[in-house]
Amino acid sequence: MISIFDDRFPVWYTIIFIALAFVLGAVIGSFLNVVIIRAPRHEPISGAHNRSHCMSCGHQLNALDLVPIFSYIFLGGKCRYCREKISPRYWIVELVTAISFTLSIMTLGLSVSLLMSFVLIAALVVASGTDIDTMEIPYGCSLTIAGLGVIATIMSVFTGDMPWYDHLIGAVGAAIPFAILAMFGAMGGGDLQIMAASGLLLGWRNIIPAAAIGIILGAIGGSIELLTVPKGTKKRAKEKSLEIAEKWYAEQRENGISVLPGKTEALYGSIFKGKSDIEKECVDEKCWEGTHDIDSLNEALSNELSDISKFAVSIVIEEEKVKKVTCKRQVVFGPYLSIGIIAAYLIGDKIIAWYLSLM
Ligand SMILES: [Zn+2]
């Protein structure tokens, strides 16, 4: 690694390196905006028929309107053609990516790790943006980080910065506690995947501060979010879900479909922005007599709870009846975990040293 603060360089070299990283981050961030919006809809990322346009008036945007970060500032956050407000999210994504790239070059210098950090940041920005939008982390983000993890594991054989198996221990060590958290509904499957992939990349030592930072920030952020939910929402969501689940299960039983004697079925899913998604993948077919109709359950929940923004739902069913329904507020953990992961990638050793100095 060559530090950009090295004495061999004149100061203006350092300034140019920092400026380049910032501009590169802003440009990449502008591209990631498109990925965040189009990826969950499975739309093509590029293509001439998909030229950027104003979301309100539909006016096609030219180069001047598309300068990352700066266009938004110079246009005062409004469309140049219809003066309608532009969502600050595009600007925020560009700025976050630009700042992250800058911090990376300042800590990692000119190195392979720097290139890897750019890819890591891009994957984490997309993971966070999509998680906020859809409450799901795209598989591709975790896969990208896992790919970086494989590269880091192979590299460590040659560089000897840590034993190669530390990476593997990191992956398994992160997967186990996050799998347990996922089982209790505190985290999602996407959180688990991204933490396991990051464990492979960071190794077991640095995945610890990554997870700690992510969980602490998530707890703080989640509590603040909780204050914005109207009182009684949780109670109503629970009562309504129970009522709907009971009615649904009664209908299933009338059609000869039921949970087998002695078995317990637990259906899991979420209600997000008024849309219920009890996951079919989680249904244990061995528990059932006949083919259940989860779609109609989702439909009924969506209709009745259309004002609910973010809840994890579980419905426990036994042969005779719906035994229990729980509704939990769900925190979107992706952005918090991402902050932890990138912080640990850049300064994990310093965080650990600082923490140990407190003891
Ligand atoms: Zn417009």
| pLDDT tens-place string over residues 299-344 | 999 988 888 777 888 899 988 889 989 887 778 899 999 999 999 9
Which of 110, 142, 170 finishes a domain?
Answer: 110
CA 39 / ligand 1 centre spacing (Å): 23
| pLDDT for 49 | 44
Instruction: Assess if residue 21 is contained within a domain.
Output: yes
Measured between alpha carbons, how far is 311 from 269 in angstroms, rounded to an integer? 9
Mean pLDDT in residue range 215-230? 87
Which of 60, 78, 110 finishes a domain?
Answer: 110
CA 136 / ligand 1 centre spacing (Å): 30
CA 50 / ligand 1 centre spacing (Å): 16
Which of 110, 131, 147 finishes a domain?
Answer: 110
pLDDT tens figures, 42-86: 666 654 445 577 878 888 888 888 888 888 888 888 988 888 888
| pLDDT for 43 | 63
What domain range includes position 247? 233-329
Instruction: Assess if residue 175 is contained within a domain.
Output: no
CA 32 / ligand 1 centre spacing (Å): 21
Chain Cα centroid distance, residue 166? 25
Instruction: Assess if residue 208 is contained within a domain.
Output: no
Task: Report residue 139: phi and psi, to 5°.
Answer: -55, -40
The environment of the single-atom ion ligand 1, i.e. residues with CB closer than 5 A, is: 54, 56-57, 79, 81-82
Q: What is the pTM of this model?
A: 0.83
Instruction: Assess if residue 315 is contained within a domain.
Output: yes
Instruction: Assess if residue 263 is contained within a domain.
Output: yes
CA 59 / ligand 1 centre spacing (Å): 6
Measured between alpha carbons, how far is 195 from 334 in angstroms, rounded to an integer? 10
Segment among 70-74, 107-111, 176-180, 202-206 with least mean pLDDT: 70-74
CA 272 / ligand 1 centre spacing (Å): 29
| pLDDT for 181 | 86
CA 61 / ligand 1 centre spacing (Å): 9
Instruction: Assess if residue 228 is contained within a domain.
Output: no
CA 67 / ligand 1 centre spacing (Å): 16
Instruction: Assess if residue 147 is contained within a domain.
Output: no
CA 128 / ligand 1 centre spacing (Å): 27
Instruction: Assess if residue 359 is contained within a domain.
Output: no
Q: How confident is the model at residue 273 (pLDDT cuts 50, 70, 90)?
A: confident
Please tell me the total count of domains within the chain.
2
